Structure 1
Amino acid sequence: MNQDFLAPDSHITTGKPKPPRVSDAVLDRLASISSGTLTSQLFKRGYRQPVMVGVRPLNARPRPFAGRAFTMRFIPAREDIDTGATVTMEPSPVNLQWVGVEALSEGDVLVIDSRSDVRAASMGDILVSRMAMRGARAVVTDGAFRDGAEIGEMEIPAWCAGITATSRLSFHHVADLQVPVGCAGVAVYPGDVIHGDANNITVIPAHLAEEIADACEAQDDLEQYIAARVRAGDAVWGIFPANEKTKAEYRQWVAAGRPELPTEP
């Protein structure tokens, strides 16, 4: 196995240029934005379905996050390969799952393409704990986790499509790391931004990350102004979605120092 493959700046030929590395500062900005605002801005740029449908958080109060995608691809297990001997005590290409966990960098989100197969667990609480210690911001799979109750108590956000105690080796083989994958019906390339809030997991192409952050922050500020107008008694008609008149009034409000709008009793 070529260990250079797992270097933080590694990139396999995917038919796409090497993506830029999204900075921690941009990730922090994106983490504070809602999935609804993100998807609106992505839709304006032609991205119709960036949301992973069918995955749910294990955490009772999932905290928002944004991180760089580190991908792991499963294929179906095969009886002569996926046995108890697959789990080794040393780094090995036979056990790519553990190699991947140890290759994670701070700010990464592990995205596991489990082929939407929940019959066996994608991983359990020990590996998730190790990921958290390495600075991973979240873990997402379109399959299942084992130890769901234990993972749900951790601070690291964990999203999945189900819970099962069945061993990964029963149905899954880890075939690749850091290659394009499909997770819950969404294409994910290494380095893409994975965003999570209490509602959704959204995928943002790395090259759009800063542009999307700028646009979303502007959209949120405008919509907060519109919400204040509605609380002050204005009808939604004519101000939402914002037309040019509303945008001009918003700019005047900003220029005036953002005076507080009255709230209708």
Structure 2
Amino acid sequence: MFRVGDLPEPIAPEKLAKLAECETATIGHFLHSQFMDPQLGAVIPERRVAGTAVTVLVPPVDATIMHYAIGHARPGDFMVVDRAGDHRHACWGGVVEIAAHIAGVVGAVVDGAATDYEEIRRTGLPVWCRGPSPVTGKRLGISGAFCVPVSCGGVMVNPGDAILADESGVVVIRPDQIDWVVEEALRRQTAEPGIIARLRAGEKLHMITGAGAQVEAALKRV
């Protein structure tokens, strides 16, 4: 059985561009959930992208819906692939990578395996996954879902969410969170060079951050 929902409203390109200036690790200083399992690693290092989540539920073995989804992808989309627990069969490889790149997809996260790493790196569309596998999905035409809520890397993802991914990991940002997340992340990133300059000038980290005062206050309470 197949389920196909409506494509989500794309997030404004200017919002995605600002989000892509933020490091996932910076967001990790103030947001504690919505981060996918860190075992989902980047196939192409040193890349950071942000896009509109377009979701796919690819059941074990049957990769038919993956081809359907790529055929309906749009520029700016970020493919989020729920593999329903299958970590053996790769549903993303060289041909899917090229088709997605031609469609304007900005990135993909697969909660399972991918294949054809060399071709993925050569094509340049960033992919995050659990690792490589030479065993690929088959077009059995049995079941799958497109543009429905999915679970990827332990996080619920709805079509139309924002996805930010870099070498540190993948985070899901709800549309109503984007503005304040960007503001806070960029504020912290702007402040960081000043902290580094103070460290190089001889100040100690615990004095700059206040951790020293926190520990000393806690010791006095014992």
Q: Tell me the amino acid that sits aligned with residue 65 of structure 2.
A: L
Contact 1:54 1:142 in 2 (8 A): no
Could you tell me which of 63, 72, 75 is aligned with 2:59? Answer: 75
1:66 matched to 2:53: no
Aligned to 1:57: 42
Counterpart-to-counterpart distance in 2, 1:115 and 1:96: 13
Secondary structure of the residue aligned to 2:29 is helix
Aligned to 2:205: 236
Contact 2:36 2:152 in 1 (8 A): no
Contact 2:43 2:129 in 1 (8 A): yes
The structure that has the greater radius of gyration is: 1
State the 1:108 CA deviation. Answer: 0.8
Could you tell me which of 18, 25, 29 is aligned with 2:18? Answer: 29
Distance 1:62 1:130, change over 3 A: farther
1:99 matched to 2:68: yes
TM-score (norm 1): 0.71
What's the % identity of the aligned pairs?
A: 27
Counterpart-to-counterpart distance in 2, 1:174 and 1:3: 8
Counterpart-to-counterpart distance in 2, 1:27 and 1:169: 34
1:143 matched to 2:112: yes
Secondary structure of the residue aligned to 2:30 is helix
Q: Tell me the amino acid that sits aligned with residue 43 of structure 2.
A: L
Counterpart-to-counterpart distance in 2, 1:215 and 1:64: 18
Unaligned segments of structure 1, at least 5 residues? 10-20, 88-94, 243-265
Secondary structure of the residue aligned to 1:117 is coil
1:39 matched to 2:28: yes
CA RMSD, 1 decimal: 2.8
Contact 1:118 1:163 in 2 (8 A): no
Contact 2:59 2:86 in 1 (8 A): no
State the 1:99 CA deviation. Answer: 2.1
State the 1:173 CA deviation. Answer: 6.0
Distance 1:172 1:65, change over 3 A: farther
Aligned to 1:200: 169
Counterpart-to-counterpart distance in 2, 1:173 and 1:135: 28
Aligned to 1:163: 132
State the 1:194 CA deviation. Answer: 1.2
Secondary structure of the residue aligned to 1:153 is helix
Distance 1:132 1:66, change over 3 A: same
Distance 1:162 1:237, change over 3 A: closer
State the 1:167 CA deviation. Answer: 2.6
Contact 1:116 1:184 in 2 (8 A): no
Contact 1:121 1:143 in 2 (8 A): yes
Secondary structure of the residue aligned to 2:206 is coil
State the 1:56 CA deviation. Answer: 1.3
Contact 2:8 2:147 in 1 (8 A): no
Encode CA deviations 1:131-184: one digit per residue, 9 max, x unaligned.
111111111101111222211322110111122222313999651111111111
Counterpart-to-counterpart distance in 2, 1:139 and 1:219: 27
Contact 1:52 1:202 in 2 (8 A): no
Could you tell me which of 142, 147, 154 is aligned with 1:185? Answer: 154
Q: Tell me the amino acid that sits aligned with residue 48 of structure 2.
A: P
Unaligned segments of structure 2, at least 5 residues? 212-222
Secondary structure of the residue aligned to 1:139 is strand
